[in-house]
Structure 1
Amino acid sequence: MQNFHITLADTSSTSVSQCFVSTDGVYNARARVLGGGSCINAGFYTRASSSYVKRAGWDEKLVNESYPWVEKQIVHRPKLALWQKAVRDALLDVGVSPFNGFTYDHKYGTKVGGTIFEGNGRRHTAAELLASANPDNLDVLIHANVEKVTFDTRGKKPKAVGVIFKDENGRKHQVFLSKKRGSEIFVSSGAIGSPQLLLLSGIGPKKDLQKMNISVVVDNKFVGKGMQDNPLNTIFIPTKNHVEQSLIQTVGITKKGVYIEASSGFGQTNDSIQCHHGLASAEIGQLSTIPPKQRTKNAIQDFKDRKQDIPFEAFKGGFILEKLATPMSKGELKLINTNPKDNPAVTFNYFSHPYDLQRCVEGIRIIESLVKSAHFTNDIGCDEETTEKLLNMSVKANINLIPKQINDTVSLEQFCKDTVITIWHYHGGCHVGKVVGHDYRVLGVHRLRVLDGSTFKESPGTNPQATVMMMGRYMGLKITRERLGRRGATNV
């Protein structure tokens, strides 16, 4: 847990976190490791709402069998940190109620959710779920990079027949599906990787594919479309004293369409301040007044140089985060070349829809009320005089600790735009009904399915990892039971 922010900030070629910058100028990350995002995320575990399950058209009984299967293996109840307790109590003070206690369920109000971290900080990941598989039926190639899915196009409808991939030494291989009835290829490369792979394989908008000299297998204008990311804006609350490290444990699920979460203590080692908060760091401009489009390497370096004059107290404390629940703003994904290792061009169009901006402002106002509540100031030990002193320092240093500028003329709307970052919950690109059917089979071809967040039209719950993992178990059971009959697969 202690190295969470460092992993995400690592942009080296060997990092398990692959950095990409959207065309919006916002720094983001993809996981390139067995276990996916569960290996690099903040660990918070919470289910989707029952209404989400209904909208997805899932079998509610089977969903409720699938979540516990995941939870019994890798999910824990967190030991609540002081910062999390203070935010919990403050949320209740400002009316984000009722208090729902510790629960995986998605309910309006304030709650404590699960975590994939043990009490000692050890992370559990989706890769551990493979231990439940039959090893005789499973081969895992951890250094294979898939380049494309291959098809037999001789029939009325193209049929997926295999996959081309490169191994760790750069040697190219082609593997073929078994001729057994029911054999299929499942793509689970995430919201960036799955639409990218379909495009590289010839499934997508005809004009775009032809520009890349990719043979068209299926002309589908919806591949890569409808990309969304839940915009995140954070407020850093400075404190006089050391704050215990904590990732997301408490969440406020509001009726205003925003979620309030918290983290604390990153960048601190006892009394030594390293001033590093990963992707939410002042060092890379995400907390500074550098708007997304201006977050160039030179601008970030200039900010790092100026940061030396910022009092170290300005980096003691914690974050309160607000995430938009269901953004209306939409974007797209397009190939920039045919190299599967390269990031495609991804646009999210943050706050292009006015309703998103309105809800962001509502979220910031909730946080402003929260930090002034009696529980928060008492639990954290913040006094108004010290906070005001540090905030004035932040104005002189030109960093956004809270929405306050030199002349107080910048609106909350502008604050939202200037300080937007990601919470890594991007989704879309292979929507159900447009790219895949309700059985997640790719439309227009045989023997190919997509199973991951690229099929989501909205991010489930406050944090999607629980539902992404549940979905794998759910579809595995559903497909097996369809093939063998319910009676034969009861104990799967």
Structure 2
Amino acid sequence: MRYRILSALVATVAVSAVHAADPETYDYIVVGSGPGGGPLAANLARAGYKTLLIEAGGDEGDNPTYADLANFNEAANDEATRWDFWVKHSEDPARELQFHHTTWDTGGGTFYVGNDPPAGAKHLGIQYPRAAVLGGCAMHNGAVCSLPQDSDWDLVVNKTGDTSWEAHNMRKYFKQIEQNDYLAAGNAAHGYNGWLKTTAGDVSWAKNDNWTGVRIMKKMAELTGQDPTKVADLINTDILADDKNRDQITSLYNMVQHAGKDGKRSSPNNYIRATLADAAKYPLTVKLHTLVTKVLFNTTTGMAAAPPRAIGVEIMSGESVYKADPKHVAGTKGPVSKIYASREVIVSGGAFNSPQILKLSGVGPRAELEKFNITVVKDLPGVGEGLADNYEGSILALGAVPVDAGLITMIFRTKSAPTKNRNIFTWCGAFSFEGFWPGFPTDYGPNQWTCAMVHIGPKSRAGSVLLRSADPQDTPDINFRFFEHGGDQDLKEIVEAANLLRESWKAAGAPAAPFQELHPCPGELGKSANCTDAAQAEFFKLQAYSHHAASSCAIGADDDKMAVLDSKFRVRGVNGLRVVDASAWPVVPGAFPVLPTMMLSQKASEDIIADAKKA
């Protein structure tokens, strides 16, 4: 902890010292330094535009907790950067209390996690940690790189008619940002000169047929129509390869992460710092520990029919001023000031904070804004609506001895999937992953064995991000409304996946077998008295978790009243304002949104710079 505090102070001073004399007006103001905003701000500065990047947290780029990818669980728990959002999965209070890791405030900065809280504990909800740090959530995640389905890109084309979003065109943005660190140079599907390093793990262990994990993997291959005799080759398949049938191919893969071969995380933090390092060439300014309280508009343009124009932002300066910060002290406020943009303001606060900022600025559903006496700048009913996420779950067991295996990654299609596309991303290994709560994960010892699952293409987009008040220091009211639409079908697909993975475990043999399953079917593997599909569906309905929030400021068609953005990320009905982050997606992009959002940021950079050149 001592190193963490010193590192944060040194990094903050370093950034501030380079840009001590911030001008009052910039060409562009970018709010949020995560996978959407961080690369965008760097790109704008590298294009010669005077750009201000505002980040509510500090800079932990030199801190091993964040820089070393192996420490990602510690990073997500660290109070240095953690913002706690306490969310709901449904409108049913009784259902919420059945979530095994529901969390309670027991006072003095302590928590109780579970279903039998001590007297006087205050129910908080389901923890959804976000990262307030230079680089955003790409600084505390597992760094998994996965591409969206082609249909996720093409959906924007279908909604807006903008053919620049066609999947075959979007690949170029991936190649522009990638610095591939695991394939020989010259692979036409990849990039080698970008700012984002990608690497893959050592899978040589898969050649040892005596390993328990190899026996399990062979069974996984057999159950999904792959050749079990070739698993050592299959597990080295490039998960980011370019294949026109990629979305329909069930295969084992080598997991790719945004990191270097040295295990160091690669993220927007690195790109921002590299841009700041050449201040004479790239006019980028970074303000850390700065909370944007609202976007400022000029509503008196001199033309009655002219839309309001974003002209800057109001900020509150200071550490831990937002109430999601566990270090926040009640009543603490910072000085408030205003900064102006001559061209545009771009909001990149993520799926929770971007809609909150828009609403606090007067852009959102009229009734909600008027409820809190916020002056309506633009009645835009879709702001904060349509919140979506991947459903995630796991099957967890204990072996009789530790399971000898590396990480097994597979993307596959269950038999009831509604399209020919794959619908489950799984990774299996000697770890536990059951969601998020203060202090996660539970360590079940050396014999733990898990297959974690991400459900691709959830049917329901029924969540919302609502204001609690007009106070910008308040956190919003977030409800995902899991399984509200198409829930039975989604649960069926998840249960099918669990059944297939459980079946593969039966091939483990001695000495790891017999497995004692902890959930969703407690008991000796294959002998649980209550392992019906219905019982498992009920388990996953109550215990599913998520950490890929998206779609709360979605791109949509001109005639869609719930559309917040056009295909160029422009907020509808106002000028000079865009949103560039995961909230812009019409659907959750594939299995992991971080790489798709960085690609989205690259496209937004191109669109914004093109518009600037036309002006």
Q: TM-score range by the shorter chain?
A: 0.7 to 0.9
Task: Map 1:76-475 onto structure 2 (within 5 A).
Answer: 76-80=199-203, 89-95=218-224, 97=226, 99=234, 101-105=237-241, 106-107=246-247, 108-110=249-251, 111-130=253-272, 133=275, 135=279, 136-155=282-301, 156-168=306-318, 170-178=334-342, 183-242=343-402, 250-254=409-413, 256=417, 258-266=423-431, 279=435, 316-329=447-460, 330-353=462-485, 354-372=488-506, 374=507, 377=508, 382-383=512-513, 386-387=514-515, 390-391=516-517, 394=518, 411-422=535-546, 424-433=547-556, 434-475=563-604
Change (3 A) 1:61 1:417: closer
Gapped runs of 5+ residues in structure 1? 268-276, 288-306, 486-492
- Aligned-residue Cα RMSD (Å) equals 3.3
Q: Is the Cα contact below 8 Å between 1:18 and 1:30 reproduced in 2?
A: yes
Q: In structure 2, do the counterparts of structure 1 residues 401 and 246 end up closer, same or farther at CA, with 3 Å as the change threshold?
A: farther
> Post-superposition shift, 1:113?
3.6
Matched, 1:50 2:150: yes
Q: Which moved more, 1:15-24 or 1:438-447?
A: 15-24
Residue 15 of structure 1 aligns to a residue whose secondary structure is coil
> 1:369 corresponds to which letter in structure 2?
E
C-alpha separation in 2, matches of 1:33 and 1:167? 15
Q: Give the counterpart letter for 1:343 in structure 2.
A: T
Q: 1:126 to 1:473 in 2, by over 3 A?
A: same
**CA contact under 8 A between 2:129 and 2:436: conserved in structure 1?**
no
Structure 2 CA distance for partners of 1:466 and 1:137, relative to 1, 3 Å = same
Deviation, 1:263, is 4.9
CA distance in 2 between counterparts of 1:381 and 1:237 reads 15
Native 8 Å contact 2:214 2:405 kept in 1: no
Distance 1:209 1:325, change over 3 A: same
Whole-Å separation in 2 of the counterparts to 1:282 and 1:188: 26
What is the aligned partner in structure 2 of residue 3 from structure 1? 71
One-letter amino acid matched to 1:362:
E
Q: Which amino acid aligns with 1:453?
A: A
Partner SS for 1:140: strand
Measured after TM superposition, the shift of residue 408 of structure 1 is 5.2
Q: Which residue of 1 aligns with 2:182?
A: none
Greater share of helix: 1
For the residue of structure 2 that corresponds to 1:7, the secondary structure is: helix
The CA deviation at 1:319 is: 1.8
Paired with 1:171 and 1:401, the residues of 2 have a C-alpha distance of 60
Report how far residue 60 of structure 1 moved. Answer: 4.9
Structure 1 residues 87 and 440: CA distance shift in structure 2, 3 A:
farther
Distance in 2, matches of 1:401 and 1:6, equals 32
CA contact (8 A) 1:237 1:320 kept: no
Mapped to 1, the partners of 2:376 and 2:582 lie a distance apart of 25
Instruction: State the match for 2:188 in structure 1.
Output: none
For residue 19 of structure 1, what is the aligned residue in structure 2?
84
SS at match of 2:492: helix
State how far apart, in whole Å, the 1-side matches of 2:390 and 2:267 are. 23
1:173 Cα offset (Å): 1.7
Please say which of residues 360-369 and 258-267 is displaced more in the overlay: 258-267
Q: State how far apart, in whole Å, the 1-side matches of 2:216 and 2:298 are.
A: 56
Offset of 1:412 from its aligned partner? 1.7
Cα distance in 2 between the residues matched to 1:137 and 1:85: 52
Q: Is the 8 A contact 1:203 1:217 kept in 2?
A: yes
Deviation at 1:86, TM superposition (A): 6.6
Q: Which deviations, in whole Å up to 9, do the C-alpha atoms of 1:292-327 show, x marking residues without a partner?
A: xxxxxxxxxxxxxxx9xxxx66x6323212222111
Give the Cα separation in 2 of the matches to 1:362 and 1:172.
53
Query: SS of the counterpart of 2:392?
Result: strand
How far apart are 1:442 and its partner, in Å?
Answer: 0.2
Question: Is the 1:403–1:412 contact (alpha carbons within 8 Å) kept by the matching residues of 2?
Answer: no
Match of 2:424, SS state, is: strand
One-letter identity of the residue aligned with 1:319: T
How far does the alpha carbon of each residue in 1:443-474 deviate from its partner, in whole angstroms, 9 at most, with x for none? 01000000111011222232111111111112
Q: Secondary structure of 1:4's partner? A: helix
User: Deviations for 1:124-162, whole angstroms, at most 9, x for unmatched residues?
Assistant: 212222356463311111211111001111233111011
CA contact (8 A) 2:127 2:438 kept: no
% identical equivalent positions:
24
Distance in 1, Cα, partners of 2:286 & 2:389: 30
1:252 and 1:45 mapped to 2: Cα distance?
Answer: 13
Paired with 1:316 and 1:251, the residues of 2 have a C-alpha distance of 22
Query: How far 1:35 sits from its partner (Å)?
Result: 1.1
Structure 2 CA distance for aligned equivalents of residues 407 and 89 of structure 1: 27
Taking structure 1 as reference, are residues 118 and 208 closer, same or farther at Cα in structure 2, changes over 3 Å only? same
**Distance in 2 between the 1:6 and 1:216 partners?**
42
Shift of 1:44: 0.9
Where 1:444 maps in the other structure, the secondary structure is coil
Question: TM-score, structure 1 length as denominator?
Answer: 0.78
Instruction: Name the CA shift for 1:187/1:39 in 2 (closer, same or farther; >3 Å).
Output: same
Letter aligned with residue 581 of structure 2: D
* Stretch moving more, 129-138 or 333-342: 129-138
Counterpart residue number, 1:31: 131
Q: How many angstroms apart in 1 are the aligned matches of 2:255 and 2:153?
A: 19
Match of 1:63 among 153, 167, 170: 170
Question: Residue type matched to 1:157 in 2?
Answer: P
Aligned counterparts of 1:464 and 1:217: Cα–Cα separation in 2:
31
* Aligned residue identity for 1:165: I
In structure 2, runs of 5+ residues without a counterpart are 1-68, 90-95, 97-125, 158-164, 180-194, 207-211, 228-233, 320-333, 557-562
Secondary structure at 1:462 match in 2: coil
Using the alignment, how far apart are the partners of 1:117 and 1:214 within structure 2?
A: 43
Following TM superposition, by how much is the alpha carbon of 1:404 offset from its aligned partner in structure 2, in angstroms?
Answer: 8.2
Range with bigger deviation, 447-456 or 58-67: 58-67
Indicate the SS of the match to 1:360.
helix
Contact preservation (8 Å) 1:235, 1:401: no
Contact preservation (8 Å) 1:17, 1:40: no
CA shift in 2, pair 1:467/1:97, >3 Å: farther
